[in-house]
A and B are shown apart, each in its own frame.
Chain A
Amino acid sequence: MEILRGVLPVLCLAIWLLVIPFGMGLFVSCVIPGRDRTPGAVFITGYLLLLALFELAGIPVVILVTYDSFTLLSRIFMALSIAAAAAGFVLMIRKTVREEGYFAGGEGTFGRITLEEGLYWLLFLALLGFQLYMAFTRASFDGDDAYYGAQGTIAVQMDSLYRINPYTGRSAPLDVRHALALFPIWEAFIAGMSGIHPVIVMHSVMPLLLIPLTYLLYFRIGKELFGRKRIMLPVFMILMALFQIFGNVSVYTNETFFLTRTWQGKSVAGNFILPAVFWIFLNLFDDNWDEWPGHVWMERTERENRGYFLVLACLNLAAGAASSLAVLLSCLLTAGLGLLFAVRYRKFGVLVRAGLACVPGAAYVLTYLVIR
């Protein structure tokens, strides 16, 4: 019984932080080209859908429901996420049974690895392990936690969302400035599901997820950048890890946020959401597929590109979980890069699709302005 009590929270964390997001990724990834559908890409897109769905479920609850709002949000999100994840797993099984295969083929990164490559990967894993160890064993003080940490605890212990002053505990009108940024509430949801205190989830559990998740994104970006020059990928990852560890040149850099405020939405915005926009744009169009072993050169069709814009639309809503500024930045980046691509590739449709991908973000901003 005692063992079960110890194992159960870990099992719940594994389900809600790994299995469900992966299932959601399987669901949303069916819109991207099959050759891009790697487990890593699935996991990243899963988190984009997860955060977008949490915003979609959470915003009406936060605005309209005063009492027992966290319980209600938890139930709605639980149903939505389980449904999306189940649909994803069904899709994958169906494709596997029909022998179409769900995941991208090819040799992969770790097939026939050379000694030098292996050593580079070991070095990168050591740097990653060091960051995870430090995140778990070192407490980083940040004044904003008095807000975000307390909001998570309030959600779980008081069943209230943004209607209690986190600093004092007094009842308060809806805190409009933060009410739409639900990242701490998602962390509270994980706490509620696992039975672990929200502050432990934020400070000790989340870095163990968010740091590898961010590197997974950089890994995908690296794969796009280096193609067949596989040995450069771990070199790139080592330099990225060092840049994160030594990027603390001021308190403002996203690298500083990454390792000192990992669990806060703004860190997720700076290190995961915004770089993910670059990852999606790197995946658009065709340039380097001939460089990949095991792949045949294929021009990306308009339809395939369209799938990525759907992921981008998810991303622009997911950014709202971090902050209202993150939505603006991700939308501006989407529109700006869309414009650059439209001009350079002479495809006006890119700009239109980039604009459409900003619609969820625009709806978020509009909601913010209305309730302000």
Chain B
Amino acid sequence: MYGIFMESLVIFKLYTGLRFLIVLFALSWIYLLFAEKDKKRRLLFVAAPPLILLAFLFPVSRKIFVAAGLDGQTYYRILWTVPMGLITAYGMCRAFEAHRRIGLVICALLVILCGSFVYKSGYIQKAENPYHIPDTVIRICDLIAPGEEEGHVMVVVPEELVYFVRQYNARIRMPYGREMIEGQWDYYNEVHEAMEETEIIDLEKLLEATRKEYCQYIVINPTRKVKGDAKELGLQLLADIEGYRIYRDPVAAAEVESWQQYYGEDQD
């Protein structure tokens, strides 16, 4: 039980990022604890938050959460039921009501200094297009996309493009997706092993794996070293987009075409 409590405490600490914004929240709450007289607001903004926090830290809550089949990694979302922003802003407004100009300046500075600017995140960058996915992906997908009557194509792409391809075009399949890249899943995929898990891509080995998956197209990252001659192995270089080499494998393509004609469009 103590272990679970400590785990929940760590989750809470991670949630707050150990930044002072949580202190501002606590100060606002304490102010409201003494200053708020309205029955309804006391219930919502003074009584409810500590009860929720207690329930969050209470080990049995976490046990029930996991036993209910919910993903333990999302336990922190219970904290979303505490409206920290609302309580902080409301508490500040109430505290500085009589001196609102200077109060606003001080409170705004406190929030800025104690918080963290969301747009400085390394995951945010200038959008290249309204899709908010890299232009390179769009150009590659447009090049290999099947027509309406052609059904699907299968492509293997470098890891950094995996996230975007199927957001743009659902007719493009891949032998593996995000589940092979992120740490929480520990899957094995032969194509992924040949494509990503070696320092130098052995084209022959990669081709052996991709043909088993009927990959008609292979996209190679510009920075990756490759062993083997693509042309000799029978691959056709379709294009070079921003350094990404897009190959077509005529052997896999012919095989796919033959069974597509025989069975119709869908084969898994």
Residues of B with C-beta under 8 A to A10: none
Residues of B with C-beta under 8 A to A169: 152, 166, 170-174
Which of A218, A236, A282, A328 makes the CB contact (< 8 A) with B40? A282
Please tell me if the beta carbons of A143 and B124 are within 8 angstroms of each other in the complex.
Answer: no
Residues of B with C-beta under 8 A to A341: 40, 43
Which residue of A has the minimal Cβ distance to B19? Answer: A249
Please tell me if the beta carbons of A146 and B170 are within 8 angstroms of each other in the complex.
Answer: no
A253 within 8 A of B: yes
Given the complex of chains A and B, what is the CA–CA distance between A192 and B93 in angstroms? 44
Which residue of B has the minimal Cβ distance to A368? Answer: B69
Given the complex of chains A and B, what is the CA–CA distance between A221 and B89 in angstroms? 12
Give chain B nearest CB distance to A301 CB in angstroms. 16
B112 within 8 A of A: yes
B259 within 8 A of A: no
A246 within 8 A of B: yes
B235 within 8 A of A: no
Please tell me if the beta carbons of B166 and A166 are within 8 angstroms of each other in the complex.
Answer: yes
Please tell me if the beta carbons of B77 and A329 are within 8 angstroms of each other in the complex.
Answer: yes
B67 within 8 A of A: no
Please tell me if the beta carbons of A139 and B124 are within 8 angstroms of each other in the complex.
Answer: yes
Which of B22, B39, B182 makes the CB contact (< 8 A) with A344? B39
Query: Which of A140, A167, A239, A287 is the most central at the interface, judged by chain B CB atoms within 10 Å of its CB?
Result: A239
B142 within 8 A of A: no
A56 within 8 A of B: no
Which residue of A has the minimal Cβ distance to B168? Answer: A199
A86 within 8 A of B: no
Query: Which of A147, A153, A167, A325 is the most central at the interface, judged by chain B CB atoms within 10 Å of its CB?
Result: A167
Chain A, residues 188-232, CB within 8 Å of chain B (1/0): the string is 000000000101100110000000000000100100011001011
A82 within 8 A of B: no
The segment from B128-136, B224-232, B240-248 found at the interface with A is: B128-136
Please tell me if the beta carbons of B166 and A146 are within 8 angstroms of each other in the complex.
Answer: yes
Please tell me if the beta carbons of B83 and A274 are within 8 angstroms of each other in the complex.
Answer: yes
Residues of B with C-beta under 8 A to A304: none
Give chain A nearest CB distance to B165 CB in angstroms. 9
Please tell me if the beta carbons of B178 and A139 are within 8 angstroms of each other in the complex.
Answer: no
Residues of A with C-beta under 8 A to B51: 336, 340
Residues of A with C-beta under 8 A to B166: 146, 150, 153-154, 166-169
Please tell me if the beta carbons of B126 and A138 are within 8 angstroms of each other in the complex.
Answer: yes
Which of A235, A274, A329 makes the CB contact (< 8 A) with B100? A235
Residues of B with C-beta under 8 A to A337: 43-44, 48
Residues of B with C-beta under 8 A to A145: 163, 167
Give chain A nearest CB distance to B85 CB in angstroms. 4
- Number of residues of chain A lying within 8 A (CB) of chain B: 87
Segment 38-53 of B: residues with Cβ below 8 Å from A: 38-41, 43-44, 47-48, 51-52
Please tell me if the beta carbons of A269 and B47 are within 8 angstroms of each other in the complex.
Answer: no
B66 within 8 A of A: no
Please tell me if the beta carbons of A200 and B93 are within 8 angstroms of each other in the complex.
Answer: no
Which of A242, A249, A284, A333 makes the CB contact (< 8 A) with B112? A242
Give chain A nearest CB distance to B43 CB in angstroms. 5
Please tell me if the beta carbons of A243 and B162 are within 8 angstroms of each other in the complex.
Answer: no
Please tell me if the beta carbons of B121 and A168 are within 8 angstroms of each other in the complex.
Answer: no
A171 within 8 A of B: yes
Residues of A with C-beta under 8 A to B198: none
Which of A116, A238, A270 makes the CB contact (< 8 A) with B77? A270
Which of A143, A200, A282 makes the CB contact (< 8 A) with B44? A282
The segment from A45-53, A96-104, A254-262 found at the interface with B is: A254-262
Please tell me if the beta carbons of B168 and A153 are within 8 angstroms of each other in the complex.
Answer: yes
Please tell me if the beta carbons of A236 and B38 are within 8 angstroms of each other in the complex.
Answer: no
Please tell me if the beta carbons of B86 and A142 are within 8 angstroms of each other in the complex.
Answer: no
18 more A-B residue pairs beyond the given contacts A245-B118, A252-B76, with a C-beta to C-beta distance below 8 A: A137-B127, A141-B163, A166-B166, A166-B177, A168-B176, A169-B174, A226-B93, A236-B90, A248-B118, A249-B16, A254-B85, A260-B118, A269-B80, A274-B83, A281-B44, A325-B74, A329-B81, A340-B47
Interface residues of chain B, those whose CB is within 8 Å of chain A, are 14-17, 19, 21-22, 38-41, 43-44, 47-48, 51-52, 68-71, 74, 76-81, 83-86, 88-90, 92-93, 97, 100-101, 103-104, 107-108, 111-112, 114-119, 121, 123-128, 130-133, 152, 162-164, 166-179, 182, 266, 268
**7 A-B pairs (CB sep. < 8 Å):** A146-B177, A239-B108, A242-B111, A245-B119, A275-B83, A282-B41, A336-B48
